Amino acid sequence: MAGTQPDIAPGRLSAAEIERNFADLHPPLSKSAALIAADRCYFCFAAPCTTACPTGIDIPRFIQSIRSGDLEGAARTILSENIMGGMCARVCPTEVLCEQACVRDGHEDRPVDIGLLQRYATDPFLGSGTRLFERAAPTGKRVAVVGGGPAGLSCGHRLACLGHQVTILSRDGKLGGLNEYGIAAYKTVDDFAQREVNYILAIGGIEVRTSTNLGKELSLARLCRDYDAVFLAVGLAGVNKLDLESEDRPGVIDAVKYIAELRQAPDKSRLPVGRHIVVIGGGMTAIDVAVQSRKLGAEEVTIVYRRGKEQMGASGFEQDLAQSAGVRIRHWARPTRLLGDAHVTAVEFEYTRAGANGGLEGAGGIFTLPADVVFKAIGQELGWDELGSAAGILRTTRGRIAVDANRRTSLDNVWAGGDCVAGGRDLTVTAVQDGKLAAEAINRYLTAGG
């Protein structure tokens, strides 16, 4: 198998087939379908769905507004708590958050379609020109937001609403973070991520500087001197390694980078895809890269995860989605060797089992999977080198930025949120909440001195 030539080529499917494959995963509700879905809500007092929402959206209230035909009221209820409610309606794991908490889930076969109703309420206002929020009078205070993903955009929008001048500094060429570069294309069609970014920036008072890197073009120490407050939303730029010999050989690819390339590709039919794909990992990135490989025409795609189904980071819905797309998922195995000379041709795995104290151990026996491409999807880490002269910022045992309940770091005028901080679930919705909480704390600091 070491001498096998890799089979990687574009155009395994026609452009028309790929367009169909990457159509909207959950098409939007029609008006009649939305009203039927809204009628299923019990409008609970102290609704458990609201409690389960990380951003605290009053879900029964916005659904009641839909029932009464007040879409603007519904959108205002959602976006006041979650300015990225449109994207979250598409990518939130509602099946383990609000919809799992729905009281109908258990009395009936399924909960209320909260995610689809949230999308129905918010979509009409992106690009419509309707102003749901007004900017307060300028305060004269300046805040630097480092990172243009969900946490940074959420923080920046809330601070701008409160009258502060915000500068968003992003290492990417576009704002949006993982919403623009890291989420499966079939979940956010029609350039939705940028439409939402444009809506957020329309509040005014936000300057944007793209292709600007912390640790290169700017330093945290300088930002702390030049601005009244700083919010770090730098995400996780580092990629975890497999720790295997010759891991950098051709054909072994970072799944996050490939998804970003796919999302920015003007013609997906021109993207090269292997015939045999192996994905190592068990989270959302593993699912997204596996499913999209199949949609591009890969013949055999296998996800291999070192633990069991229940321990996978991807939700049950996402695992089922992958399997329905023809992806095979194998549990309780870890990679031990990459095969191939100039290019990877196969991966050798060892069977695993749960060990003492929650550890993992070899179970004996190996198997080999052929691979034209191996995707690494075993998580990311914070690039501490980016923080440059960030002396004094404490980190957690997980290697992330330590923050308090208000997302304040160990530095007096620096806050942080999103994937780069401890305790988060690495979801768009939790990043948005981090940004919102930090913005409120920063506002208190700027207006009351702490």
pLDDT over threshold 70, residue 440: yes
Range 98-111 average pLDDT: 86
Gap between the terminal Cα atoms of the chain: 64
Which residues contact residue 346 at a Cβ distance below 8 angstroms, ignoring those fewer than 6 apart? 1, 2, 4, 338, 339, 340, 368, 369, 370, 371
Mean pLDDT value across residues 357-385: 91
The answer for residues whose C-beta is within 8 angstroms of residue 68's C-beta and 6 or more apart is none
Q: Which residue has the higher pLDDT, 310 or 398?
A: 310
* pLDDT tens figures, 212-234: 988 888 889 899 999 999 999 99
Q: pLDDT tens digit string along 248-277?
A: 999 999 999 999 999 999 999 999 999 999
**Superfamily holding 239-376:** FAD/NAD(P)-binding domain (3.50.50.60)
Whether the per-residue pLDDT at 3 is higher than 80: the answer is no
Residue 2 has pLDDT above 50, yes or no: no
User: Cβ of 94: how many Cβ atoms within 10 Å?
Assistant: 26
pLDDT band at residue 399 under the 50/70/90 scheme: confident
Confidence tier at 448 by pLDDT (50, 70, 90) = confident
More confident: 237 or 197: 197
Mean pLDDT throughout 185-191? 95
User: Which of 330, 337, 336, 338 minimizes the C-alpha distance to 362?
Assistant: 336
- Tokens 């299923």 belong to residue: 40
- Partner residues linked to 169 by β-bridges: 146, 209
Model confidence pLDDT, tens digit, residues 198-212? 999 999 999 999 999
Task: CATH 1.10.1060.10 in the chain: give the residue spans.
Answer: 31-125
Query: Quick one: pLDDT at residue 129?
Result: 79
What whole-number distance in Å separates Cα of residue 46 and Cα of residue 49?
9
CATH 3.50.50.60 placement within the chain: 142-237+382-448, 239-376
Phi/psi at 312 (5° precision): -65, 140
Query: ∠ CA(81), CA(87), CA(89), 5° rounding?
Result: 75
DSSP state of 65: H
How many residues make up the chain in this entry?
450
pLDDT at res. 41: 96
Q: How confident is the model at residue 107 (pLDDT cuts 50, 70, 90)?
A: low
287-298 pLDDT per residue, tens? 999 999 999 999
* Residue 4 confidence class, pLDDT cut points 50, 70, 90: low
Cα pseudo-dihedral 82, 51, 147, 130, rounded to 10: 0
31-125 has which fold? Fumarate Reductase Iron-sulfur Protein; Chain B, domain 2 (1.10.1060)
**pLDDT above 70 coverage of the chain, percent:** 96
pLDDT of residue 389: 52
Distance in angstroms (rounded) separating the CA atoms of residues 101 and 171: 37
Residue-wise pLDDT tens digits, 315-360: 999 999 999 999 999 999 999 999 998 899 999 999 999 988 889 9
Mean pLDDT of the chain: 93
* pLDDT at 247 > cutoff 60: yes
Could you give the residue ranges of the DSSP H alpha helices within 212-336? 220-226, 255-264, 284-295, 316-324
The correct answer on CATH 3.40.50.300 for the domain covering 142-237+382-448 is no
- Tokens 């079939």 sit at which residue? 186
Assign 394 a pLDDT band (cuts: 50, 70, 90). Answer: confident
Provide the pLDDT for residue 391.
61
The model's confidence at residue 422, banded by pLDDT at 50, 70 and 90, is confident
- Asked whether residue 425 carries a pLDDT value surpassing 80, the answer given is no
254, containing H or E segment: strand 252-254
pTM above 0.85, yes or no: yes
